[in-house]
Amino acid sequence: MSRTRDIRKILIANRGEIACRIIWTCMEMGIKTVAVHSEADRDALHVRFADEAICIGPPPSAQSYLNIPAIISAAEITNVDAIHPGYGFLAESATFAKVCEDCNIKFIGPRADVIAMMGDKVEARRTMQEAGVPILPGSPDPIESTGEAKKIAREIGFPVIIKAAAGGGGRGMRIVRQESELESNLETAQNEAVAAFKNGAVYIERYIERPRHIEIQVLADEYGNCIHLGERECSIQRRHQKLLEEAPSPVITPEQRERMGAVAVKACKEIGYSSAGTFEFLLDEDGSFYFMEMNTRIQVEHPVTEMVTLADIVRNQIRIAAGENLQYEQSDVRLVGHSIECRINAEDPVKFTPSPGKITAFNIPGGPGVRVDTAVYPGYVVPPYYDSMIAKLIVHARTRELAIHRMQRALKMMVVEGIKTTIPLHQRIMEDERFQKGDFSTKFMEEFQL
């Protein structure tokens, strides 16, 4: 077994449940941890459980969790070997990955140039096509003129979707159903892209009306070894925020899984991908799948994959970052049972508006097949500055039906008082007939009434 660098101490450039999740694995691996925190997070659990903690700035994330000089200074002062970025914040900043590299601190993730390539959706599409990944018919380059947009839209046929090259996660998209609407939508999309990303480049794709969002988890080491850990079904979302995820997808057959997994693994090898990563696909009603985006970080919903594979994805990220070889081959990966994750947000479940404040009572469900990833506790005050997710409730059972039943009882025993949460919404989804049958698309929540 090779190992090119020792990782004895890791700085976690994040907060909340994912910071605690990373600390769990570091503790199990005998790796020391450094927490960084804003002035609003002095009483946060990641600060309490890390071996050392450093305040990096005022509450707004632009001055703390996104403050590269402050984070690098904390890393230098504490003499860490590596930085784990978690998700969000700097996790997909090619600049941050490059700064870490230049400072001789291992960034736990893929190379900076790979992050940058995947961040440009036009370049990612081209790279994936060259690697043999199916993509939707569309423009090979950013659209330069209305005439060009019309020509391409006629070739692929309406409806089409205009997306920002620097976008992702659903921001700055326009659906166009007929040619007469193309010019105005193109202009709006370009203006929105400039405003949101300071980059007006947009491209066009065929629009799929009722897709499912299926993503494949991969693990790749620095020596070209790569495996996939199956798929996650992420179609149940609202305003491009996922609400719940499951593994496996109720509609993916073993053959389909093998096809999607093989495509993702081949692409990773061709681009020199290393670390954990996720390929997002749109699945059409006829079973065709198309590349949408690649996420070069650990994701919020990684626990459902951990439950059905028994893999620890954070442990694998750390081992890969230490220059170790992947520990298993594809034939070692076995999916067992079914897992569902409900994201518990401090939000009004009807209006989806934030509901920060003091948690007066808090109970975590237990029992077989129940996992809760959280960083809150009774008396904790949810600050208004960050993402509203306060916990992830994850269950595992032998079948999907049993997993739904287990989630229903776990939701009843998950008590959060003092603030509003999305728990009642999840209870309603678990009771929904179409959800129970696995008969849904990304449009599920538009048709759902609480």
- Residues serving a catalytic function are 297
Asked if 205 touches ligand MV4 (CB under 6 A), the answer is yes
- Residue 211 as a binder of ligand MV4 (CB under 6 A): the answer is yes
| Interaction between residue 188 and ligand MV4 (CB under 6 A) | no
Between the alpha carbon of residue 152 and those of residues 137, 208, 350, the distances in Å are 9, 16, 40
Q: How many CB atoms lie within 10 A of CB 380?
A: 20
- Rounded-to-integer distance, Cα 294 and Cα 114, Å: 10
Cα–Cα distance for residue pair 78/56, rounded to 1 Å:
13
| Residue 293 sits in the site that holds ligand MV4 (CB under 6 A) | yes
Q: Which of residues 323-362 bind ligand MV4 (CB under 6 A)?
A: none
Q: How far is the CB of 394 from ligand MV4 (least distance, A)?
A: 20
Of 213, 257, 371, 420, the residue at the interface with ligand MV4 (CB under 6 A) is 213
192 binds ligand MV4 (CB under 6 A): no
Count of residues that bind ligand MV4 according to CB under 6 A: 17
User: Site residues for ligand MV4, window 228-257 (CB under 6 A)?
Assistant: 237, 240
Sole binder of ligand MV4 in the list 282, 359, 376, 403 (CB under 6 A): 282
Among 260, 419, 442, 444, binds ligand MV4 (CB under 6 A): 442
State which residue, 49 or 352, has the beta carbon closest to ligand MV4. Answer: 352
- Interaction of residue 208 with ligand MV4, rule CB under 6 A: yes
C-beta atoms surrounding 319 within 10 Å: 20
Query: Which CB atom, from 109 or from 211, has the smaller least distance to ligand MV4?
Result: 211
Q: Which residues contact 388 (CB under 8 A, 6 or more apart)?
A: 345, 346, 347, 354, 355, 356, 382
Q: Which stretch binds ligand MV4 (CB under 6 A): 100-108, 202-210, 264-272, 411-419?
A: 202-210
Contact positions toward ligand MV4, by CB under 6 A? 136, 161, 168-170, 205-208, 211, 213, 237, 240, 282, 292-293, 442
